[in-house]
C-alpha cells in the first residue's frame, strides 16, 4: 500500500512538473543550436536545421514543434534590386521537425506569423533567420553609395529603420534598391488569397 502511494505521489509530481514546463514554454522545442548564426546574404539560400536554429536564436525566435494559433497574420514582401525582382525562397523558417513563428511556405513572398503567444514580430527577425542583412543602408550585400539608394516602404509609404518594422496583418512591404536617379512607383497593396 505504501509503495503504491509512493509511486502515485512520484507520478503526480512528475505530471505537475511537465505541466509547469508546458505552460512556461508553450510548444517550443528543446533542440539547441549547434552552429553560429550566419549571414550569407545569398537570397536563394534557405538555412537548414542546425543553421536555422542558430539564426533563430540570434533573431530571438523560438523553434516551435508546430505552428502557433494565438497570433495568425500575414504580410507580403517584395524585394527589387536594380530593377530585378528577387524571389523569396520557400520554407524559410521551416526545419525538418520544428518551425519558426515567422516563416514562409512558398515563393509568393507571403510571410506567415503563426505564434502560440501574442507579441510583436519584426521584419529584422525574419531577415536574421534568413541570413540576409537588412539595415537603413543595406539589403544583403547591396548598400547605399553615391550611385544607389535604398527605399523600404510599407503600403507604399517609405519608412526608416526597416529592421524594427513591426509586422502587421496584410502589410505590403517593398524593399527597393537601385539608381539614385530613379523614383520608383512603390507598391501600395497585395491581393492576399482568400483566408489569409
SS (H, E, C) 36-103: CCCCCCCCCCCCCHHHHHHHHHHCCCCCECCCCCCEEEEEEEEEEECCEEECCCCCCCECCCCECCEE
- Extract the C-alpha cell encoding 6: 509512493
**Model pTM greater than 0.85?**
no
> Helix, strand or coil for residue 21?
helix
**Percentage above 70 pLDDT, the chain:** 83
CATH 3.40.50.10490 holds for 31-179: no
Domain map (residue ranges) of the chain: 1-28, 31-179
Instruction: Dihedral sign for Cα 177, 162, 136, 110, please.
Output: negative
pLDDT higher for 33 or 42? 42
Is the pLDDT at 45 greater than 70? The verdict is: yes
Q: Give the DSSP letter of residue 174.
A: E
Is the pLDDT at 41 greater than 90? The verdict is: yes
Mean pLDDT of the chain: 87
pLDDT in the model for residue 35? 73
Contact of 68 with 113, CB cutoff 8 Å: no
Contact of 109 with 76, CB cutoff 8 Å: yes
pLDDT in the model for residue 36? 80
Question: What is the mean predicted confidence (pLDDT) over 98-104?
Answer: 98
Residue partners of 184: CB distance under 8 A and separation at least 6? 80, 151, 176, 178
pLDDT in the model for residue 13? 40
pLDDT in the model for residue 28? 45
Q: Mind listing the pLDDT tens digit for each residue in 58-69?
A: 999 999 999 999
Amino acid at each position: 500500500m505504501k509503495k503504491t502511494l509512493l509511486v502515485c505521489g512520484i507520478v503526480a509530481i512528475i505530471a505537475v512538473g511537465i505541466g509547469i514546463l508546458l505552460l512556461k514554454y508553450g510548444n517550443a522545442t528543446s533542440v539547441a543550436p549547434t552552429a553560429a548564426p550566419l549571414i550569407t546574404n545569398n537570397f536563394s539560400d534557405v538555412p537548414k536545421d542546425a543553421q536555422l536554429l542558430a539564426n533563430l536564436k540570434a533573431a530571438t525566435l523560438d523553434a516551435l514543434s508546430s505552428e502557433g494559433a494565438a497570433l495568425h497574420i500575414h504580410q507580403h514582401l517584395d524585394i527589387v534590386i536594380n530593377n530585378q525582382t528577387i524571389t523569396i525562397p520557400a520554407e524559410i523558417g521551416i526545419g525538418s521537425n520544428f518551425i519558426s513563428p515567422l516563416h514562409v511556405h512558398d515563393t509568393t513572398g507571403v510571410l506567415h506569423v503563426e505564434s502560440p503567444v501574442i507579441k510583436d514580430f519584426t521584419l529584422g527577425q525574419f531577415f536574421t533567420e534568413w541570413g540576409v542583412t537588412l539595415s537603413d543602408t543595406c539589403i544583403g550585400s547591396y548598400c547605399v553609395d553615391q550611385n544607389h539608394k535604398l527605399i523600404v516602404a510599407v503600403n507604399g509609404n517609405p519608412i526608416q529603420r526597416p529592421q524594427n518594422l513591426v509586422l502587421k496583418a496584410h502589410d505590403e512591404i517593398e524593399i527597393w534598391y537601385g539608381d539614385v536617379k530613379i523614383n520608383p512607383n512603390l507598391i501600395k497593396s497585395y491581393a492576399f488569397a482568400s483566408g489569409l
